[in-house]
Structure 1
Amino acid sequence: MYKKSEITQTKHEFWTAFGAYMKPVPSAEGYRVNWQNYKTGVKQLFFRMKAERDFTSIGIELNHQDLDIQELQYEQLLLFKKLLHTTIGEEWVWEFAQPDSYGRPISKAEKVLAGTNVMNREDWPAIISFLKPRIIALDEFWSNVKYGFEDLK
């Protein structure tokens, strides 16, 4: 069992290492980007990367409090589903308005890698190898479709 402070410290060290590893990688448009805290420019639309004790995941998360707006964003994203899967090179799991750990509805498209543990530093290369190409592909995808979300900002 890990102490909460140990988990927090290890995750901080992982994300710092990931950020340093990704720092030289420019965005699809050639700009510097904070990969760990990617800004989509659309309210309540996020690219989420998680490195936990039993899985790693990456995805697009919609968590607008107004469920009608969240549904519009989700439907808009669904229009680009084929382009997303083509850009990333794999199928993702899509969910609409599923409750999060606080009971709030969130919609998402994500890919999960089971069996990794951020607390095990030997897993870090596998976690980074999973996240890096997908966040780069998400950025490329977003550079092509973000204008379709301008009315939903």
Structure 2
Amino acid sequence: MFSKEEAKELRLEFWQKLSNRTRRLPGQKGRKRLWIGDNTGIKGLDLRFDVGREKIIVALEINKKKEEDRLALYEKLEAAKGLFEREFEGPLIWDFAYTKDNGRDVCRVYVEQPGDMYVRETWPEIFTFMIDRMIRLEKAFLEVKDYLKYM
């Protein structure tokens, strides 16, 4: 087990190494890859990484505070599921009632794999998964973004 400080340093190193790894992506010319993240242009909709001790998740997350707004946006996204998954190039997990570790309910469309961010030896495999799936998720999101904007 790690002390709080050791775990913090390891998390920081993990994210720094992921950022450095994105500099080697085609077209980046040594610059780190800037992900869309929470700058999607749609309030309450983010693209995010969720990493921990048991699994690695790459997700589109709808986190609007009002449940009816959250579910309405999710239903609209779900109506474009065929196109979204075709652009993603694979199936995704669709969950309209995902409960985060902090107890907050969100809607999520995501892909996951087992993994532990605290095991350095697995980082290359984890980084490959995270980068590949986020590139694909961004591509799928951009295909339906204009459709989702207008509610």
Task: Output the TM-score relative to the length of structure 2.
Answer: 0.85
1:84 maps to 2:88: no
What does residue range 4-43 of structure 1 map to in structure 2 within 5 Å? Answer: 4-23=4-23, 25=25, 34-35=34-35, 37=37, 39-43=39-43
> C-alpha offsets along residues 53-92 of structure 1, whole Å, 9 cap, x if unaligned?
2211111111111111101110111022112222222211
Q: Which amino acid aligns with 1:111?
A: V
Conservation of the 8 A alpha-carbon contact between 1:15 and 1:36: no
> C-alpha offsets along residues 97-118 of structure 1, whole Å, 9 cap, x if unaligned?
333333332111111101x221
Aligned partner of 2:133 in structure 1 is: 134
Deviates more, 1:123-132 or 1:142-151: 142-151
CA RMSD of aligned residues (A): 2.2
Q: Which amino acid aligns with 2:134?
A: I
Measure, in 2, the Cα distance between the counterparts of 1:24 and 1:151. 36
Deviates more, 1:136-145 or 1:70-79: 136-145
Aligned partner of 2:106 in structure 1 is: 106
Conservation of the 8 A alpha-carbon contact between 1:97 and 1:107: yes
Conservation of the 8 A alpha-carbon contact between 1:50 and 1:57: yes
- Of structures 1 and 2, the one scoring higher in RCO (CA 8 A, sep 6+) is 1
Measure, in 1, the Cα distance between the counterparts of 2:116 and 2:37. 21
Task: Output the TM-score relative to the length of structure 1.
Answer: 0.84
Q: Which amino acid aligns with 1:123?
A: T
**Between Structure 1 and Structure 2, how many residues are aligned?**
147
